[in-house]
Structure 1
Amino acid sequence: MSETQPDPHRLPAVYLAPGPYAGGTAWPAGPPPGWHPGRYPRGPQWGDAAWGGPVWGGAAWGPPARTRWDVPPPPGTPYDQMARTVLNRWWRPIVGTLAIVATFVVISIGAGLVAYLVSLVTRVPMTGSGPRLFADPVLDLGFQLGVIALLLPLVLGAAWVFQRRPPGSLSSVALRLRWRWLAACLLVAVVSVVLGQAAEAGMLLSAGVGPGYGWAGWGAFLPALIVILLLVPFQAAAEEYAYRGWIIQGLGAYFRSPWPAILLGAVAFAASHGYTGWGIVYVFVFGVLMGWLAVRTGGLEAPIALHASNNVVAFGLVAASGDMNGALEQGAVPWQALIGSAVQFAVFGFGVLIIARKWAIQTLSR
């Protein structure tokens, strides 16, 4: 009576003594040639891919590989086309935009209700009319900047939930915010803003108009400066992610050229501000420049740098003068102010492009 045949897919832990088995030859004593016990510490098991176990459809037997929810864009994709992943569908940018707008409206209303309850509990007075909520201008500025900053997580979340792409694809083609590049852009932005302010003040003084600078003392300046430094970077970043990131990449899913998205983002950016006359021209040109730089440099670092620097300086000058009641007021802008803006835009644009070329800043996904 013959012995039971050994399982060819699993080596026995203890090798049998020589003896006949089915086939009429002797079972070898010891391991087969080439067998090294230390190669598989626990011993190869049936089903192990390393042992060449059973396969189904060409893959090792076992649970299917886990697929990612978010899919990055293919290599070689420019910034404005980052929403063109394999999961892109025509309805995704539309649904995501509607979700961002609706959620932001609900959050803004909820924030207003919370502010009202806080006012009742703390007895902090609130205004009864106008866009302001709190009578204290510094507190009101902080509230307004904080509400705008809430756009940031909404836009990042919409990219992940509705477009199923990495939220970092809104930041840059590297799928993240490039901090070293952002720091370089900040240095250029500070220089350009200072030169622009100097040019604007010179033009206003030559026309017999005071630039409005003043000093109200450290007691009035420091509280406002703390609020500005803490919240303005998030407010500026939120607006850039919305008007430059989301709109440019959203329309990039439909257009090969970035210019329709750049122009539409600039129009939406200007419409969200309360400027009139030359002020509309300033905000629109600012939006066009920021959109163009985002595409040329492959990310939002340059737009965030100039936007944050410009707002910090603008709010800071108002805080230094002590007239915080007019910090959020927008309206007519004298044409002389556009000269200072032109200097600021030219210095920043050329400076950023020169450094981006020297550093070989990444402009396509990898």
Structure 2
Amino acid sequence: MSADHSLPTATPFHRMATLRPAWTGRIRPLLTLAAAFTAYVVLISVVLVLTILVLALAPGVNVALGVTSGDPTSALDVALALAMGVMWLPAGIIGVRFGGWRPLGTAWSIAARPRRGLLRSLGPWSIAMGVAVVAAAGLAGAVTTAIAGGDGGGAGTSAGAADATGSVPQLLLVTLIVLVLAPLQAAGLELALRGVVMQALGTWLRSPLLPLLAAGAVMLIGRELSAAVLLPALTLGLASAILAWKSGGLELSILLVATITAASQLVSAVGAGTGAGAGGAALSAAAAAPGTSSAALATTASGSAALAGGLTAAAALLLLTAVMVARISARQGVRLREPVRRPAGEPAPAPVPY
């Protein structure tokens, strides 16, 4: 009897693109990646052009002012950086749907849809993990600044601290922008840089090791070349990739990245010019979309405080990821080094019609 491809073997998340032979062509993973990244370039070009046009038409506004300054208290800068990051969401959708020519749900989870039960049981843990990491980064920055006598190692940081903090209306506007756009950016980054990348490599490779490493390493692209930013960025990429592989979907990693993005951005803005703000700024730059102004340290962040925040955040991510892996194993009834898989007897999702 010939094998029935509609009844695949138990499938981990990074192998979801192998459920049907039509999704596993030699060039299909390359087409998926190419479609996603091409769509992203086109979409951010549109965002940038529209931004420049709006600023050019606005009376008394400098077109270049605040757009690439890296100021966490600038609503314009924060909005543009997050809007560019949000474009990963439609780009990832285009990559999966038109490059991979398969249902979008296959890139979300092993169930080919968001799993509400998982969100109810483990979602709060993922959010708490993000809050703890941001708190650790801010605390490390504050302690480092206190030990250094208030300067934190940044030239002129103390002198400019008073001018660094935005007004209350300005900070409220930044908060609103972050709360609206950060979850969308997190969903886009996880879909495109974790789901698409891991499943593209998973089409060729059974082992999850290389897909996990690639999904983590892609976070290093388009980011400030400093240890304060690169180390937590790499650790966050690996942590979210491990959570996606272990849990069988993107739900928990999206919650983690959304929480870290929003909380670190707000700590960086509210605490601009302080040690806590510098620690938050390092993590904010690590979690930002590649190539945006937010992917570099804030201009108000001092060097040693940011480094302390970044290193502490990386260590906290490693520790708490291990805790989450153990929690997922206990909750889902799988061994510690095994992922949650799509059941062998569950039919593959319906193919996309041509």
SS in 2 for 1:82: helix
In the alignment, which residue of structure 2 is the partner of 1:94?
A: 30
Amino acid at match of 2:341: L
Rg bigger for which structure?
A: 1
Check whether the contact 2:194–2:215 (CA below 8 A) recurs between aligned residues: yes
In the alignment, which residue of structure 2 is the partner of 1:263?
A: 213
Amino acid at match of 1:239: L
| Superposition deviation, residue 233 in structure 1 | 1.0
Amino acid at match of 1:98: A
Amino acid at match of 1:313: A
Q: Which moved more, 1:189-198 or 1:83-92?
A: 189-198
In the alignment, which residue of structure 2 is the partner of 1:363?
A: 340
| Superposition deviation, residue 299 in structure 1 | 1.2
Aligned equivalent of 1:190, options 95, 113, 131: 131
Gaps of 5+ in 1: 1-70
Alpha carbons of structure 1 residues 336 and 144: separation in structure 2 relative to 1, 3 Å: closer
In the alignment, which residue of structure 2 is the partner of 1:352?
A: 324
Distance 2:245 2:223 in 1: 23
| Superposition deviation, residue 313 in structure 1 | 1.6
In the alignment, which residue of structure 2 is the partner of 1:276?
A: 226
Distance 2:42 2:7 in 1: 32
1:147 and 2:147 equivalent?
Answer: no
RMSD between aligned alpha carbons?
Answer: 3.3
Distance 2:229 2:70 in 1: 26
Check whether the contact 1:73–1:86 (CA below 8 A) recurs between aligned residues: no
Paired positions, count: 295
Distance 1:124 1:166 in 2: 48
User: How much identity, in percent, do the aligned residues show?
Assistant: 21
In the alignment, which residue of structure 2 is the partner of 1:202?
A: 143
| Superposition deviation, residue 124 in structure 1 | 6.4
Distance 1:285 1:134 in 2: 22
Alpha carbons of structure 1 residues 83 and 322: separation in structure 2 relative to 1, 3 Å: same
Aligned equivalent of 2:96, options 155, 159, 173: 159
Alpha carbons of structure 1 residues 175 and 289: separation in structure 2 relative to 1, 3 Å: same
Specify which structure has the bigger relative contact order, considering alpha-carbon pairs within 8 angstroms and separated by 6 or more residues.
2
Aligned equivalent of 2:13, options 54, 71, 79: 79
Gaps of 5+ in 2: 282-292, 298-302, 334-338, 344-354
The TM-score normalised by the length of structure 1 is 0.70
In the alignment, which residue of structure 2 is the partner of 1:340?
A: 312
Distance 2:187 2:93 in 1: 12
In the alignment, which residue of structure 2 is the partner of 1:328?
A: 294
Aligned equivalent of 1:238, options 188, 204, 209: 188
Check whether the contact 2:246–2:340 (CA below 8 A) recurs between aligned residues: yes
SS in 2 for 1:77: coil
| Superposition deviation, residue 207 in structure 1 | 4.9
Alpha carbons of structure 1 residues 357 and 261: separation in structure 2 relative to 1, 3 Å: closer
Distance 1:291 1:312 in 2: 19
Alpha carbons of structure 1 residues 344 and 133: separation in structure 2 relative to 1, 3 Å: closer
Amino acid at match of 1:86: P
Distance 2:6 2:174 in 1: 41
Distance 1:158 1:339 in 2: 34
In the alignment, which residue of structure 2 is the partner of 1:29?
A: none
* Larger helix fraction of residues: 2
Distance 1:210 1:315 in 2: 21
| Deviation by residue 1:189-217 (Cα, 9 ceiling, x = unmatched) | 32343244334533553455657898655
SS in 1 for 2:21: coil
| Deviation by residue 1:11-56 (Cα, 9 ceiling, x = unmatched) | xxxxxxxxxxxxxxxxxxxxxxxxxxxxxxxxxxxxxxxxxxxxxx
Amino acid at match of 2:10: G
| Deviation by residue 1:271-315 (Cα, 9 ceiling, x = unmatched) | 132242342222112212221221111111222222111111221
Distance 2:166 2:218 in 1: 36
Alpha carbons of structure 1 residues 193 and 141: separation in structure 2 relative to 1, 3 Å: closer
In the alignment, which residue of structure 1 is the partner of 2:115?
A: 178
Distance 1:140 1:134 in 2: 7
Alpha carbons of structure 1 residues 291 and 314: separation in structure 2 relative to 1, 3 Å: same
Alpha carbons of structure 1 residues 119 and 193: separation in structure 2 relative to 1, 3 Å: closer
In the alignment, which residue of structure 1 is the partner of 2:352?
A: none
Distance 1:295 1:97 in 2: 19
In the alignment, which residue of structure 2 is the partner of 1:59?
A: none
Distance 1:349 1:263 in 2: 15
Amino acid at match of 1:365: R
1:249 and 2:199 equivalent?
Answer: yes
SS in 2 for 1:144: helix
Check whether the contact 1:92–1:162 (CA below 8 A) recurs between aligned residues: yes
Alpha carbons of structure 1 residues 123 and 264: separation in structure 2 relative to 1, 3 Å: same
Check whether the contact 1:156–1:167 (CA below 8 A) recurs between aligned residues: yes
Alpha carbons of structure 1 residues 348 and 178: separation in structure 2 relative to 1, 3 Å: farther
Q: Which moved more, 1:293-302 or 1:269-278?
A: 269-278
Distance 2:7 2:255 in 1: 25
SS in 1 for 2:224: coil
The TM-score normalised by the length of structure 2 is 0.72
